[in-house]
């Protein structure tokens, strides 16, 4: 080992110096970022020193490739909770997740304070049925602590063969309680979108996430509701509760369905292709009918783009609870060896320039949460909506809007 270490160290030094030059060149020429930052020589020396000590003194022999992977993961994950380095196997896992069909619990997660945090449970999945809520901190899976665990490793722990049992321990900040859930994994299939018509020809659409086809799907559901009501639709409730977001372009498209003019959203980043503005086209699929957007603390990212755009343009009334507050845009860049870099490349702002990152969208009308699910708290709505007090209240609000607009 001691004989070959000097050659390894020299190779690493040459590699890091070359990499610094290449990255700096690409950053300034292709991404058009103006910066004088370069990796200081003393930091390269420090990295090499630590690498050498690990190779010589760590209790177990460790593979060079594995050690470099750890270094890269640490560098990227330290940026923010949403950036990460994906090994080829991690990237494959991510692609499985985006197909909308896998064995798991049905939750969208991030990291916070060294633990895994639930952004939102997906409707009609084991997690939502068990009672896991947005904001829950997952502290253990079985007997394995998630403290400081890489988010991709946490995902691997929670996924598994459909039908198998898993125990999840969460800490709920609102109640300051630790809760244990025994959950059975199942195939998770995002249902995407569903709709209904309630009394007074009030249309209702639940959008579970923003996928590439969400704008066309939503448009189709609205036309279906219009047909079902003999073109007598009196208003629409668009339910974005527990919608964790998705594709930026779909959020723009959905907002544009209801706006005749105005800015929808704009993004700011360090590269020229992250400086973007999106504007509405002259259309409103509802022709000015009352529109309510329902949000809660599980509404994030693309959901907040839609709510912010329609609120700032005074096209919709936002009801429910304050949203999650994720106003960053990630891009996934596949690398030559099959791994990938998931990197925050921009932040988005509402039409009026509000930065809602960590702040969320505040509703125009606050609705009490649906935490109490006792049978006696049923409301006058058909199943499966008969325990949704927030929806019941939203319908009452839009009825009043229709009366006042006549």
* Tens of pLDDT, residues 13-57: 444 443 433 333 333 334 444 455 677 888 889 999 999 999 999
Domain match, 203 and 262 both: yes
Q: What is the pLDDT of residues 338-393, one digit of tens each?
A: 999 999 999 999 999 999 998 999 999 999 887 655 445 567 888 888 889 999 99
The answer to whether residue 81 sits within a structural domain is no
Domain match, 303 and 163 both: no
CA-closest candidate to residue 332, choices 83, 33, 112, 32: 83
Mean pLDDT of 255-281: 96
Give the pLDDT confidence score for residue 26 in this predicted structure.
35
In sign, the C-alpha dihedral spanning 154, 155, 161, 167 is positive
Give the pLDDT confidence score for residue 113 in this predicted structure.
82
Number of structural domains found in the chain: 3
- Out of 136, 217, 312, 388, which one is annotated catalytic? 312
Write down which residue in 173, 189, 205 finishes a domain: 189
Domain match, 278 and 391 both: yes
Domain match, 53 and 97 both: no
- Are residues 160 and 132 in contact, defined by beta-carbon separation less than 8 angstroms? no
In sign, the C-alpha dihedral spanning 387, 228, 194, 308 is negative
Give the pLDDT confidence score for residue 3 in this predicted structure.
52
Q: What is the pLDDT of residues 283-340, one digit of tens each?
A: 999 999 999 999 999 999 999 999 999 999 999 999 999 999 999 988 889 999 999 9
Domain match, 43 and 157 both: no
CATH of the domain at 317: 3.90.226.10
- Out of 263, 326, 342, 389, which one is annotated catalytic? 326
The answer to whether residue 84 sits within a structural domain is no
Domain match, 220 and 330 both: yes
The answer to whether residue 298 sits within a structural domain is yes
The answer to whether residue 75 sits within a structural domain is no
The answer to whether residue 282 sits within a structural domain is yes
Write down which residue in 189, 206, 221 finishes a domain: 189
Least confident of 45-49, 260-264, 402-406: 402-406
For the chain, what is the mean pLDDT? 85
Domain match, 237 and 308 both: yes
Name residue 319's beta-bridge partners.
294, 365
In sign, the C-alpha dihedral spanning 173, 178, 183, 185 is positive
Domain match, 111 and 222 both: no
Give the pLDDT confidence score for residue 191 in this predicted structure.
67
The answer to whether residue 206 sits within a structural domain is yes
Mean pLDDT of 113-132: 89
Tell me which DSSP letter residue 211 carries: -
Domain match, 95 and 199 both: no
Domain match, 253 and 364 both: yes
pLDDT at residue 193 above 80? yes
State the Cα–Cα distance between residues 228 and 236, nearest whole angstrom. 13
The residue with greater pLDDT, 174 or 267, is 267
Is 25 a catalytic site residue? no
**Residue 32 belongs to domain spanning:** 5-62
pLDDT at residue 274 above 60? yes
Is 194 a catalytic site residue? no
Write down which residue in 172, 189, 206 finishes a domain: 189
Domain match, 123 and 212 both: no
Give the pLDDT confidence score for residue 34 in this predicted structure.
46
Give the pLDDT confidence score for residue 31 in this predicted structure.
44
- Crossing angle for the helix pair 248-256 and 302-312, nearest 10 degrees? 30
| Strand 328-334 relative to strand 340-349, pairing | antiparallel
Is 328 a catalytic site residue? no
Specify burial of residue 258 (Cβ count, 10 A radius: 0-12, 13-18, 19+): buried
- Out of 134, 195, 299, 301, which one is annotated catalytic? 301
Give the pLDDT confidence score for residue 382 in this predicted structure.
85
Domain match, 45 and 134 both: no
């Amino acid at each position: 080992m001691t004989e070959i270490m000097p050659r390894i160290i020299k190779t690493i030094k040459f590699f890091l110096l070359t990499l610094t030059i290449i990255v700096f060149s690409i950053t300034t020429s292709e991404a058009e970022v103006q910066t004088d930052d370069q990796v200081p020589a003393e930091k390269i020396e420090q990295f090499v020193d630590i690498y050498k000590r690990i190779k010589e003194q760590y209790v177990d022999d460790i593979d060079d490739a594995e050690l470099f992977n750890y270094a890269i993961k640490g560098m990227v994950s330290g940026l923010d909770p949403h950036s990460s380095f994906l090994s080829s196997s991690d990237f494959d896992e991510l692609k499985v997740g985006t197909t909308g069909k896998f064995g798991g619990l049905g939750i969208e997660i991030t990291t916070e304070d060294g633990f895994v945090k639930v952004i939102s449970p997906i409707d009609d999945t084991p997690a939502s049925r068990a009672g896991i809520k947005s904001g829950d901190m997952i502290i253990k899976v079985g007997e394995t602590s998630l403290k400081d665990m890489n988010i991709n490793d946490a995902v691997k722990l929670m996924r598994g063969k459909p039908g198998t049992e898993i125990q999840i321990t969460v800490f709920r900040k609102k109640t300051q309680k630790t809760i244990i859930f025994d959950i059975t994994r199942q195939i998770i299939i995002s249902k995407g979108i569903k709709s209904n018509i309630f009394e007074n020809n009030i249309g209702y659409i639940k959008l579970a996430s923003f996928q590439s086809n969400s704008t066309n799907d939503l448009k189709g559901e609205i036309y279906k509701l219009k047909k079902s009501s003999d073109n007598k639709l009196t208003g629409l409730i668009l339910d974005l509760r527990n919608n964790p977001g998705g594709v930026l372009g779909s959020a723009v498209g959905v907002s544009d369905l209801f706006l005749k003019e105005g800015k929808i959203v704009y993004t700011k980043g360090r590269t020229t292709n992250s400086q973007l503005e999106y504007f509405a086209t002259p259309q409103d699929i509802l022709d000015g009918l009352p529109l309510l957007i329902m949000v809660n603390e599980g509404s994030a990212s693309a959901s907040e783009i839609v709510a912010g755009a329609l609120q700032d343009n005074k096209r919709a009334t936002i009801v429910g609870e304050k949203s999650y507050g994720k106003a960053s845009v990630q891009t996934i860049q596949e690398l030559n060896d099959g791994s990938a870099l998931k990197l925050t490349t921009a932040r988005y702002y509402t039409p009026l320039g509000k930065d809602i990152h960590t702040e969320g969208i505040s509703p125009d009308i606050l609705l009490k949460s649906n935490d109490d699910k006792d049978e006696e708290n049923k409301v006058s709505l058909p199943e499966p909506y008969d325990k949704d007090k927030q929806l019941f209240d939203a319908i009452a609000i839009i009825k009043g809007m229709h009366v006042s607009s006549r």
